Every structure is written in C-alpha cells, then in structure tokens.
Amino acid sequence: MLDMKFLRSPKIASQLIIWFLTIALVPLSFVSYVIYQKSEHSLFEGVTEDLLSVAQRQSKQILTYIRERERNVTTLSRMPGIVIAMKEFDHAFKKKGIDSPEYGAVDRKLRPFLTYYQESFRYDDLFLISSEGNAVFSVKRGEDFGSNYITGIYRTTELAKTFARASTLLATAVSDFEYYPPTNEPAAFIASPILDKGLIIGVVALQMNNEEIYSIVNDYTGLGETGETIIASKLEHRAIFKTPSRHDPYAAFRKKIPLGSGLDSGIEKSVQGRKGAGIITDYRGEETLAVWKYIPNMRWGMVSKIDTEEAFRPIAHLRKLYVTMGLITLILVVASAIFVARSISDPILKLTGITKTVAEGDLEQKIEIAAKNEIGALAASFNEMIRKLKESIEELKITTAAKERIESELEIAHDIQMGILPKVFPPFPDRHEFDIYATLEPAKEVGGDLYDFFFLDDDHLCFAVGDVSGKGVPAALFMAMTKILIKTKATRNLTPDIVLTRVNQDLTLDNPALMFVTLFLGILNLRTGELEYSNGGHNPPYLIRRDGHLEPLATTHGMALGVMEDVSYQSKKILVQKGEKVFLYTDGVTEAMNERYELFSGERLEKELSAMGEKSLEGIINGLMSKIRIHAESEPQSDDITMLMLTYNGPQI
C-alpha cells in the first residue's frame, strides 16, 4: 500500500507520483474509450463495406459475363458459315425432315463446326431456329429439337420468347433465368438474328452454362464461414431463389418467399427494386448483417449477407481486449509511477536524450542501459524498434524503386503505342480535299484500340479504326501487329475486302490466345468522293449529310479478324458529297457505363452528333469525349475509346 505521508511529502518524488497518476490515467481512460467507440464503429462499417464490395463485384461479374455472351452470339450470327448452315438445315428440314438422309448429310457436314463453337465457349447447347420458328438444329438434340417455338408445346418457354424478340427486333436478346421443361432444369438463353442480304432467315440461340453463373454467385470470397449471396426474382407475389445458396444447395427455383411475409426482408426489398443495408432476419430465421440491391439488366434482386454472430465477433473480442488492456495498463501505470518517482535518474534522462536524437532522424543511436528492470526492457525494445525501423525504411526504398520502375516501363509502353498512331493535326496541311481528326483514350496504360490513315497515292486516302479483344499489353501488341499488317497490305493497291481478307489470314496463322479484332477500313477517292469500304465485325460508321442527317453505312457482313482463317470479306461503295462527314468509333463510346449500369448507347451518340452542328472535327470529337465523361461520372473507364472523323471538301482545284 502507498504510504499517505509519502504522498503528502513535498519531495519531488511524491509530486511526480500524484501528477503522473493524474496526467496518465485520466487522458488514458478518455482516449481508450474514444478509440474503442471509433474502433467498434469502424469494424461495423468495415463489415458492411466488405459486403457491399462483394455484392458490387459479383453483380459486375454477372453483367460482364452476360455482355461477353451477347458479343459472342452477335459475332456468331454474322459469320458467313452460320448463314450457310441456317439455309442448308432449313432446306433439309422443310424438304424431308430431321430423320431424312438429306438432313443427315447436312448435319454431318456442319455439326463439327457448330459443336466446336458450343464447346469452345462453354455453352450448354446451340440452336438454329428458322424464321418460321422451327428448331432445325441442336447440338444436343434434346426433346425440343424439331419442335416449333411459335405453335408448338414449347411456345411459352424462355427460349421461345427470346427467339420472338430477336426475330422481331432484329437485335440480340437475353432471356430470363427460368425453369426450362425440355431439360428439366433452370436455363437462360441468348439469341441473335441471322440476316442474309438484309432479310432475316433465322435465329441462332445459345443456352448459357448454369454452372458458370452459379460459380459467380457461390464465390464466398470475403463472406467468411456463414456468408452467402442470394439471387432472386419477383414472380407475382413471391420472391423465387434463382441459384443454390450456401445453406440450401437445392434452393434454386424451389425456395420461395411470399412478399410481405417478413421471412427475409432483404430479399423482398431487393426484388422490389430497392437497395440498402442493415441487420435482418434471413430465410433461415438467423440474424444477419446484409446488403441488398437490384440488378435492372437481369431483373434480379441480390442479397449479400453474413451471420451477425460471425460479423460482430471482432467487436466482442475488441471489447474484451480493451477491458483487459485497461486493467493491465492501470496496474502498470501505478507501479511505473511509483518506481519512476523513486528511481528517477540518468536512465530516464539518457533515454529522453536519445529519443530526441532519434526523433530528429539519427537512426544510428543505441541505448546502452544495463538495468534489467522495465527501463532496461524499454531500452532493448527501443533498440529493436530502431533496427526494425531502419529495415522497414530500406524495404520501403526497394519497394518504391520497383514500383517506380514498373510505372516508368508502362509509361514508356504507353508513349510507344501512342507514338505509332498519327497524332499531329492537321496531318497534311497542303491537302485541302479533306479534313481529318482522331483520338484514342486507352482504359489502361496501354490498350487495344487502333486508328490510322495514310495516302495510297495522290488521289486515294486509306483510313481505318479497329478494336482488339481484351485490354492491356497483349491487346496493345495485337493492335500494333494489326496496324502494321493493314499498312503493308493496303499500300499494294488492293481493295478493302482483299486487304481485310489477307490481314485476317496473317492474324490467324499464329494466334494461340485466340485474340481477334473488329476492323473498318475505307479508301476515299479524293477526286470523285467515292468511298469503297469493308467492315470486319465493327460498329457501322455514320455518314453525316450536309443537312445534318445521320446515315449508318450499310454492313458488309464481315466477321472479326483473327477468328477463322478461310474467311472472305466484301466491299461496298458510296459517294460522299462535298461537305459531308464520315464518323468512325469503337464500342468504348456507346458502352461507356456509369455507376447505375446505364450505357452511353448508340441513340445517345446519334443525338449528340446531330447536336454538334457545324463545329470543327476536333470540336465535335472533344465535345463527344466530354459528354462521355459527364455520363460516366466517377465510374472508371472500362474500355478503350477511339473516334475518327473525316470531312470531304471536294477535289483540289
């Protein structure tokens, strides 16, 4: 026990004990309380943010998966081989039926190609459906093979609805993820119209792989031991589970929650288009911390949650830790106060002096104290801290240098890539037959978009815009190779279709990564205004008439380059009048997305182009880029953006 006479003593030791206890314990108690409250709040917010990140990551993965599949089926529907297959299967089906020798001959000839595509891109099945609704081909030849999706027993299925939308709207359509009777399991389909000379002759439909969608939803990374993600949709007055759950592997299309029942308010709110976060009781009757949101593209509700017992376990540990640390600290403070007050001497002064020296940046100091008590341990700890601090600084220097080297190399790669593109405008000041301006903004340090323009002779200007699959360094290398091949072939006085055919042959010779590029190439006769062009699966450019009217250039039905070796391309010709403009772009323009998953879209592009009026080419392109950035808000750029615009001024006099 502390002697009260000792405390009343006017000696410095007594005063130090009193002041030490007052100064140390009061602020320590206050700070500990504040830190605990903030730590508890931060842990709660951290768990909620983790759940939000999981939901955001998985919803983006689902949308990316669907968007990739839409591109796949759109590209497939434009392949000449698919047009031929559709015609031959439909003819054999109508003439003799699916069991006839004629149909068998067509099937043996074309099935390997269609099966290869279905297996390569991991689809469950591939269908060819005639414009009359007949399922004239199926890789798996299930119960629905040979049926009619307009009049037959499967006319109300999701595949029938998707066929109807694709054939009616002449655009790629995605079905809901619903139970499909012929396979007796859930299924989703993507369909795209097959056109021949501008007329629809059928629809190609692909059945998506359920396991790939399940694998996204059932990725429990960041969800601990009890967390899970639930996908559900609204059907009349119920919310229906679309995928298996962690706690119920058989929940898909079996688990149903009546809306308003309160069995799981997170699922109910999500399928009704609401988003939020909070503590709820889930469908198992367990208290959980959950976040919920609505995915409008798929009409799905998503709930990511974790049991509160697990989620708040760190808070309970923290509470125990602070109580324990508080008691220990109280004991140590009292003991240290008495000890320090009675033994204040050179060790403290020495420690104070060296601490000040170290604080000023001298890390070569070392405390030499022989005491084996707390001061000696503090001195040893201080020496160890200085040693580790020196090591940490050295490691930080090495890490910083490595990071700067990588950033420098990527910056050099960016400069090299941008350097191979024309970027001086006007590029030909002494040529007045045309004006041209272009820009490329990669999503990463380096990207896969490309543009180019060059003279073939005094009267012919060649220009091109392309978009390589993927991003980053591989796409940049593929882009550079494509640009070189274009210039090599085009300068041999070949027509656009032959240039694309030969570039495609070279790209497919050694392409183990199965990369491809969509490409538009045009050759403008500067004397006559005749534009001859060929399109390899790229977005159709716009011809802007003198009155401001926009006309998409007619497609040449060419597929992306690098996909198949033996592909021929077609050319078309149009006459560009004096004062008319041609606008080329990549899908990074129309697919620029904000945080609400809203695309910039082709309709918005046409509207903004029409509104630009008589601005200069640079003003139009920079204006469009500004509109895209405003639309995207704070959402990071997800794809390369390239635009090229050309005005024909007429022959030079």
Whether 164 and 253 share a structural domain: no
Q: Which long-range contacts (CB under 8 A, 24 or more apart) does 505-513 make?
A: 505/565, 507/478, 507/481, 507/482, 507/561, 507/562, 508/562, 508/563, 508/564, 508/565, 509/565, 511/562, 513/474
Whether 562 and 579 share a structural domain: yes
What local confidence, expressed as pLDDT, does residue 554 receive? 95
What local confidence, expressed as pLDDT, does residue 1 receive? 45
In this prediction, the residues of the chain whose per-residue pLDDT falls under 50 are: 1-2, 6-7, 9
In a domain, 84, yes or no: yes
What local confidence, expressed as pLDDT, does residue 361 receive? 65
Answer for the pair 644, 452: CB distance below 8 angstroms, yes or no: no
8-state DSSP, 624? H
Whether 257 and 125 share a structural domain: no
Whether 196 and 221 share a structural domain: no
Closest to 583 measured CA to CA, from 547, 553, 559, 546 = 553
Answer for the pair 223, 304: CB distance below 8 angstroms, yes or no: yes
Answer for the pair 337, 16: CB distance below 8 angstroms, yes or no: yes
Where is the domain boundary, 174, 208, 242? Answer: 208
Which CATH number is 525's domain given?
A: 3.60.40.10
CA 480 to chain centre: 24
Closest to 468 measured CA to CA, from 490, 444, 489, 447 = 447
In a domain, 636, yes or no: yes
Which CATH number is 181's domain given?
A: 3.30.450.20
In a domain, 16, yes or no: no
What local confidence, expressed as pLDDT, does residue 127 receive? 94
Where is the domain boundary, 287, 311, 335? Answer: 311
Domain range for residue 458?
421-648
In a domain, 6, yes or no: no
Where is the domain boundary, 419, 450, 467? Answer: 419
Whether 574 and 548 share a structural domain: yes
Whether 184 and 301 share a structural domain: no
- Supply the pTM of this predicted model: 0.43
Round to whole Å and give the CA distance between 265 and 272.
11
What local confidence, expressed as pLDDT, does residue 321 receive? 78
What local confidence, expressed as pLDDT, does residue 372 receive? 65
**Dihedral pair phi/psi, residue 471, rounded to 5°:** -145, 180
Round to whole Å and give the CA distance between 500 and 519.
8
Whether 229 and 192 share a structural domain: no
In a domain, 167, yes or no: yes
Whether 408 and 486 share a structural domain: no
* Angle at alpha carbon of residue 145, lines to 144 and 148, rounded to 5°: 70
Number of domains into which the chain is organized: 4
